[in-house]
Chain A
Amino acid sequence: ELKVEQNPLFLSMQEGKNYTIYCNYSTTSDRLYWYRQDPGKSLESLFVLLSNGAVKQEGRLMASLDTKARLSTLHITAAVHDLSATYFCAVDISGNQFYFGTGTSLTVIP
């Protein structure tokens, strides 16, 4: 059974600080996705990582993928309140079967 584990599950951080969310998965995959979900809303795609060593950045968020370690990270730089949301990683193992982590609920406090 494929497992996708995120940690931490809950993260409270101060504005201006840096932090990293980790996503580990239990089977071979070259494709990993990050999504953001605001409370009561749908999911928004953040990053699509399609190969080992892939790194993508958008604003204060940077995602990377290490397929050998089966690990992806989502790094937050100088957090701002607008980044408060739940972040999900998802792994695709066959091109059309997606497995999501349980999510990391991020709260950025002033």
Chain B
Amino acid sequence: DAGITQSPRHKVTETGTPVTLRCHQTENHRYMYWYRQDPGHGLRLIHYSYGVKDTDKGEVSDGYSVSRSKTEDFLLTLESATSSQTSVYFCASTGLPAFNEQFFGPGTRLTVL
């Protein structure tokens, strides 16, 4: 299995506070992704990265920003958390080619009160 970790694994925060989730992979994968999983919606792509400093928006990017300064790290930031961002967040990565199986991290459960 690809070595992908996420931190923190659980977080409870209050509305309006900034939150950063970290994804770290040890496979030297070029592509990394952030998803959120909500009941009835499956997984929805928030942002993805196709290389260091190269990122793009996904299906549900409003309210989220990302950064990738190193191949192994992909950060997801909620600038001002809202209750609608309560969710389980998964990071994934894949090597070349991009249309290959994605390896998923263990997930982060975020609760915004």
Note all chain A residues with C-beta closer than 8 A to B90: 42-43
Select the residue from A41, A50, A100 with max chain B CB neighbours within 10 A: A100
Q: How large is the interface on A (under 10, 10 to 19, 20 to 34, 35 or more residues)?
A: 20 to 34
| Inter-chain contact A100/B102, CB cutoff 8 Å | no
New A-B pairs, 9, CB < 8 Å, besides A88-B42, A88-B43, A100-B35: A33-B101, A48-B100, A90-B43, A96-B31, A96-B48, A97-B58, A97-B59, A98-B45, A103-B42
| Interface residues of B, count at CB 8 A | 27
B22 touches A (CB below 8 Å): no
28 residue pairs bridging A and B, Cβ less than 8 Å apart: A4-B42, A31-B99, A33-B101, A42-B90, A42-B104, A42-B105, A42-B106, A43-B43, A43-B92, A43-B104, A48-B99, A48-B100, A88-B42, A88-B43, A90-B43, A92-B99, A95-B98, A96-B56, A96-B98, A97-B45, A97-B48, A97-B59, A98-B33, A98-B43, A98-B102, A99-B45, A100-B35, A100-B43
For the complex, would chain A's binding face be called helix, strand, loop or mixed by DSSP majority?
strand
Q: Once the chains bind, are B98 and A42 in contact (CB under 8 Å)? A: no
* Cα–Cα distance between A48 and B40 once the two chains are bound (Å): 23
B42 touches A50 (CB 8 A): no
Selected from A41, A45, A97, the residue in CB contact (under 8 A) with B101 is: A45
Residues of B within 8 A of A (CB): 31, 33, 35, 40-45, 48, 50, 56, 58-59, 90, 92, 97-107
Which single member of A45, A97, A102 contacts B103 (CB below 8 Å)? A45
